[in-house]
Chain A
Amino acid sequence: DAGVIQSPRHEVTEMGQEVTLRCKPISGHDYLFWYRQTMMRGLELLIYFNNNVPIDDSGMPEDRFSAKMPNASFSTLKIQPSEPRDSAVYFCASSLSGYITGELFFGEGSRLTVL
């Protein structure tokens, strides 16, 4: 079975540009999470969805960040406008049970560099 698929794997852009990261969760998983990894803060939860509905977006840094899940097999994380401090690795993860058992399945990540 295919795992969580993220694209692009690497993105280099200039400050002020719009960035869109994409995620396809594992089929049948009803929870989807977006995380950001930085050296200082480790893995930070940005937002998560249950059955395509955003449940908790308290981790989204500011209004420049937005996330959507139009259907069960696709989600996007958009940054507009991007800033150098947004440079990080962004992970998408999915699960069957949300936080109950805690096993999340992660994609390989999208490494974003904002110049």
Chain B
Amino acid sequence: DQQVKQNSPSLSVQEGRISILNCDYTNSMFDYFLWYKKYPAEGPTFLISISSIKDKNEDGRFTVFLNKSAKHLSLHIVPSQPGDSAVYFCAATGNQFYFGTGTSLTVIP
């Protein structure tokens, strides 16, 4: 049973526009939420995280929003760049580390 779900397997966005990647979770006890980015033939790398006591965390072009009442997490990338094209995994931690199935983002030049 997937405790972290990414319902959009893929997303295409024009360069310079905003990319919004979404993630839903089922367990209200999760402490931390994270986004990882993965390029082909490489391992996932940490991108940004947010504690469950916050509702927003920003790092440069990347902002993560947390809506605890909706059990929903989103990653905003503004402006999107071709180098952002990758698979993005949402993850949540509690007594274990749960990953979503990933969303493949393509930024079109």
Contact = CB atoms under 8 A, between A and B. Distances in A.
A108 interface: yes
30 contacts: A33-B97, A39-B101, A40-B101, A41-B2, A42-B102, A43-B44, A43-B89, A43-B99, A45-B96, A45-B98, A56-B96, A93-B43, A99-B32, A99-B96, A100-B31, A100-B32, A101-B32, A101-B49, A102-B91, A103-B34, A103-B49, A104-B46, A105-B46, A106-B43, A106-B44, A106-B45, A107-B43, A108-B41, A108-B42, A108-B43
B69 interface: no
The secondary-structure label for the interface of chain A is: loop
Contacts of A45: 96-98
Contacts of A91: 43-44
Interface of B: 2, 6, 31-32, 34, 41-46, 49, 89, 91, 93-102
Q: How large is the interface on A (under 10, 10 to 19, 20 to 34, 35 or more residues)?
A: 20 to 34
The secondary-structure label for the interface of chain B is: loop
Interface string A1-40: 0001000000000000000000000000000010100011
Nearest to B89: A43
Contacts of A44: 99
Nearest to A43: B99
Contacts of A108: 41-43
